[in-house]
A and B are shown apart, each in its own frame.
Chain A
């Protein structure tokens, strides 16, 4: 799996952002998620049914996390944060769905005051965050051991992001070389 990630063949900014997954209509207020065997079916408020396969078990709870954030009222951070945008949730979900096909653990999902979504993987040595805001996808990597930080658009940091994320990986779920 790490080889695939390092080579950028499976997870790239282009395929991560264009894979069809689930449609969350702007007016959607609630989405039901049910898990059947290895297949996750998501029924959105707009009536779309999308089947996903080979995803990590945490994808469904991560989806619930996203829904909790989208339900947060204006000012959810107690300081006037904007409501989380459905577009950010949709894009964040697509990214998580792509990542969930590798054995990467569940991230902490949080809103941003700009109406975006941040997903963070963290341990005592490394922190990797991907942030979706207003259609932009940015990455922040903090190597705590080396005291090094890097940040920028995902499109220009795909390899660095993949390498960093692979440090959280366990055995491959599928297709590892």
Chain B
């Protein structure tokens, strides 16, 4: 079912649409050839290099920091501790604080205490990176290690040590949602099921770690910050206040970014202190994160524990769920930390008609790195919860998991669908995706295969997940810094087209897909279009890339801009064709007087006239450029069905994925090849989360999964052949009808794999097992249930 790649035909006629075509990415050649420019490729004259002294303790009092020896090392320029910089800088922001939340001031460097392993304690600036690294070993920090707060449940006990004693509590925030009449739904229930579901802490592990270069232009009193980020615009919004320069004196550039997955959706202490010191030392400074630093000091994801109660009817109707959840937020609330569990809460209905939902969240401070958005960000938790629940309901009632799901789904006619949590699902046809996935999986034969395998004593399981997620975040009223998106289109004097997006693609391929959208709308060959992104000096506004928002919102802003240009150009064409704007038609890149198609003007001629400006009609502003802000009326709600068949090795606990079928509906697809890539990558990360990934701190708060030798991520050989399909239910939330697909795989896949593994183990009487299904965990469950060979 893999997508067939269609090359753009050379000299294609404009009428051959690009939208919907599986085209190779224009980004790929530079990436494959190794000639792309990442932060670490930047070399500026006089550039210094920084390295951070980081706490080796999870919780420690810092008695003293001696830097004399390190400063003597030839090539060391300066060393700064918290005492040298903290009072000159603002604190690291959390954009989504919750009412009543208690969080400490998040200073850029540790002060009197270090709160997690990897906490930056001091910064060394030197002529080379090697010298900076050598100097780290010469900085003497006198620590008094203190008992670490590690287990978030124990952290809530009365006698627990406190992560931040000055707060008097380990509770960072509480949040709750209650939709529908929860109490009466539970009264109406025939049975109430209970289950604890755990979402392990995960390390995003972008292949390119973080890094930045800051350069102060003393003559202009302005700063340029190149940083490996998903959000240059949000950094430009947040950073000026922290370092005390005006916003219009700051340019932020995200050059090529080698993976983000939410881990670069933050303003980090390192970016702030490097910016500050570039000004203070009046020299450019580069900092590149090492892998172990990345594992320890870049945000982690997930880490939720939920105790769930599910009200059900005997016929399989799921009436309501309620849960108490604990979220381990780590030592500080980073940019979006408190928002993540709220996304879980609002998505708990999944694609089902629950009458009521309640969730009470307690965010807990521990001596670990902060948790924040990791691909899916709250929605994988919700999908996992409701999809495990559907299987539990089926197994408790002896019903078919297919029928339980179908019974609880809204019909296509019920859209827009109002959920108990207050969302309006924009459009959907869950049954269509569900049925198509079962067709692709050859469902009846798959069941027979399972029967045959089980009769032979094999542990063979089939798992389903029918997910829905929330994308295109999101109307501004729900977003701290606005949820609009900006785009700009310029027809250059030569007729070539420059498209500028306020989103910040970092692997998603929008240099290609936005060019496809623009080429169709303008009626020009795609080769004539360049898409610029990621530089606040060229993309004047933007809310960047996260929450699978870029195509739905950024793409629409581009379309709006093109429509403005076309309208304007009609006036010019009318003057040149001696007609009136109302009579001008635009088709395939040509302007002509209605009924006189043989007398037409193209973009080349019109752009030349617009800029040379000798024959402009009265009042016509020179130039052909327009920009637009798109404010979406609603989010989008992509959905789909994933089906997995697995076999478990009874002797070793090893899980093998035998079949993987996914049908995703992300609305209209601009480029099916990019959609497939996103789905494939997302499923791969889900395979990691389901089978191998877990961030482990020991009881002293030491990080035991600090590098790829100990933190497993899936490799090519772990990925099964995917059978991929799609359905297409356009979104009414934007004129393109697109929904977003960047996170679908990480949301839909984990529960499908989990359900398959637990189905495989079900003949042994196993009802549930927590993620990840590592061999030892599975083997132990088999042993405990008498299933060993």
A pairs with B: no
